[in-house]
Amino acid sequence: MNSITKARNLSGKVVLVRVDFNVPIKKKKVLDDFRLVASLPTIQYLIEKGAKVVLMTHIGRPEGKTVASLKVDPVVERLSELLKKKVKKLETGNWKLSDAKKVALLKEISKLRPGQVAMMENMRFSKEEAKDTGMLSQELAALGDVFVLDGFAVAHRASASVSGIPKYIKGYAGKLLTTEIVGLTKVLHNPNTPFVAVLGGAKMETKIPVMRNLVERADAVLIGGGIVNTYLLAKGYIVGDSLVDKEFQVDAIQYCKRKNVIKPLDVIVGTKDGKKVRVVKIKKNPHEICKKGEAIFDIGPETLRLFATYIKEAKTLVWNGAMGYFEKKPYDVATLTVARLVASRSKGSAFGVIGGGETLQAMDMVGMTDDIDLVSTGGGAMLEFLAGKTLPGIYALQW
Ligand code: 3PG
């Protein structure tokens, strides 16, 4: 992979930059500009080099339809504020452009001044964006001289504007993409030990491949959330209405039985409204943990103490996924405690990496995001990287 900082003579060149500005928007305002801020170093670098910067992003999953609430205008507005210069919106719509309109777009782009920034409409308004083998990849490539992928969060999608364009023009890694890959590669291939991973959350289909890879690499994998519930169910415990994924019971047993997988000693059981809550110890032989109408909503205090001993010794720390239903008190205790523990150990004693929507949200809730070494902008992308998969966007940058 070649970093954009290695590219020569960018002045006056049209640089197409695929970012991931898939951010929450409400009433035409960006609610969280974290991903915009994360790509500023790349955009600013290109401005300084005098490039004509053309940004592309997706927002949401409109799947080829034009959805007014998913237009890029609020992002263009917020980015203009952050850059302290006006970002020009290119009206590329759903990419069903007549030849005359394509020529006009090309002219509009070539007329950009060196250092000027423009942005196309939501790439997913085009049906063609979903694949990297169609005409859209070529059409986009024809608009620029150089391609940069900076949206690590979308690098796992084989899309026209992600892995399609660099099939036709030279592709470079942006500064954000480089930072994320360097950090995550260190974790996987050269971690300082003890390497401790904390895995929680709900979506088993994304967590199991990560477990498969990390149990081979980490000294300890501490588990919470849906993985634990599914494992307990698979072992024959009665888990009431707990969030489980029945399809992954065999995998849960296969990976959780590993010695370096640290399983909860106790859990918090209760009703969804958080009114009736109790601690249940997990005994060796399967037993009833909770009845229907109740569920496991968090890991328990003894477990938290045990997890803390591992986190406090770690030299490399990766955390993805909530330990429980942290949106509701009192089920937020373990997730917020893990957030504090991971942050306190990071930037100094350990190299700390976090990623995923709810993980970032929890870290934000304890106000310690700045204490983390690498806050990944990618949820799914980070998990696929940690699972050892080849990400199409990164693969496409090799030349
Ligand atoms: C994300 O938010 O994880 C990325 O923007 C990718 O979005 P997607 O899962 O809709 O492809």
Q: Catalytic site residues? A: 35, 203, 357, 380
How many residues does the structure list for the chain?
Answer: 399
| 84 and 154 inside one domain | yes
AA identity, residue 26: K
**Ligand 1 contact, 357 CB (< 6 A):** no
pTM, whole model, 2 decimals? 0.95
Whether the pLDDT of residue 59 is over 90: the answer is yes
Residue 60 assigned ligand-binding role: yes
| 221 and 291 inside one domain | yes
Per the structure, the count of domains in the chain is 2
Whether the pLDDT of residue 291 is over 90: the answer is yes
Whether the pLDDT of residue 399 is over 90: the answer is no
Assigned domain for 185 exists: no
| 54 and 126 inside one domain | yes
| 197 and 163 inside one domain | no
Assigned domain for 379 exists: no
Residue 22 assigned ligand-binding role: yes
How far is the C-alpha of 223 from the C-alpha of 208, rounded, in Å? 11
Which residue range(s) make up the domain with 305? 191-367
pLDDT cut 90: percent of the chain above it: 99
The phi, psi pair for 349, rounded to 5°, reads -70, -35
Substitution site in 35, 154, 391 for ligand 1 pocket (most atoms within 8 Å of beta carbon): 154
| 155 and 111 inside one domain | yes
Assigned domain for 376 exists: no
| Contact assessment for residue 228 and residue 211, using Cβ atoms and an 8 Å cutoff | no
Q: How far is CA 174 from the centre of its chain?
A: 16
Could you tell me which of 173, 193, 178, 229 has the C-alpha nearest to residue 318? 193
**Ligand 1 contact, 154 CB (< 6 A):** yes
Assigned domain for 293 exists: yes
Assigned domain for 388 exists: no
Please enumerate in sequence order all residues whose Cβ is within 8 A of that of 377, keeping only pairs 6 or more positions apart, or say none: 20, 34, 35, 38, 151, 152, 153, 176, 180, 355
Whether the pLDDT of residue 93 is over 90: the answer is yes
Q: Which pLDDT score is estimated for 316?
A: 98
Give mean pLDDT, residues 36-61: 98
Assigned domain for 389 exists: no
| 217 and 351 inside one domain | yes
**Ligand 1 contact, 380 CB (< 6 A):** yes
Mapping DSSP onto H, E and C, the string for the chain reads CCEHHHCCCCCCCEEEEECCCCCCEECCEECCCHHHHHHHHHHHHHHHCCCEEEEECCCCCCCCCCCHHHCCHHHHHHHHHHHCCCCEECCCCCCCCCHHHHHHHHHHHHCCCCCCEEECCCHHHCHHHHCCCCHHHHHHHCCCCEEEECCHHHCCCCCHHHHHHHHCCCEEECHHHHHHHHHHHHHHHCCCCCEEEEECCCCHHHHHHHHHHHHHHCCEEEECCHHHHHHHHHHCCEECCCCCCHHHHHHHHHHHCCCCEECCCEEEEECCCCCCEEEEECCCCCCEEECCCCEEEEECHHHHHHHHHHHHHCCEEEEECCCCCCCCCCCCHHHHHHHHHHHHHECCCEEEEECCHHHHHHHHHCCCHHHCCEECCCCHHHHHHHCCCCCHHHHCCCC
Assigned domain for 316 exists: yes
| 257 and 119 inside one domain | no
| 114 and 263 inside one domain | no
Residue pLDDT, tens place only, 166-190 = 999 999 999 999 999 999 999 999 9
The phi, psi pair for 116, rounded to 5°, reads -85, 150
| Contact assessment for residue 346 and residue 373, using Cβ atoms and an 8 Å cutoff | yes
Peptide bond into 194 cis (omega under 30): yes
| 171 and 232 inside one domain | no
Q: What is the CATH number of the domain that holds 62?
A: 3.40.50.1260
| 10 and 153 inside one domain | yes
| 285 and 334 inside one domain | yes
Assigned domain for 37 exists: yes
Ligand 1 mean position, distance from CA 153 (Å): 6
The last residue of one of the domains, among 128, 145, 177, is 177
Residue pLDDT, tens place only, 94-120 = 999 899 999 999 999 999 999 999 999
**Ligand 1 contact, 360 CB (< 6 A):** no
| 148 and 198 inside one domain | no
Residue 251 structure tokens: 């995998």
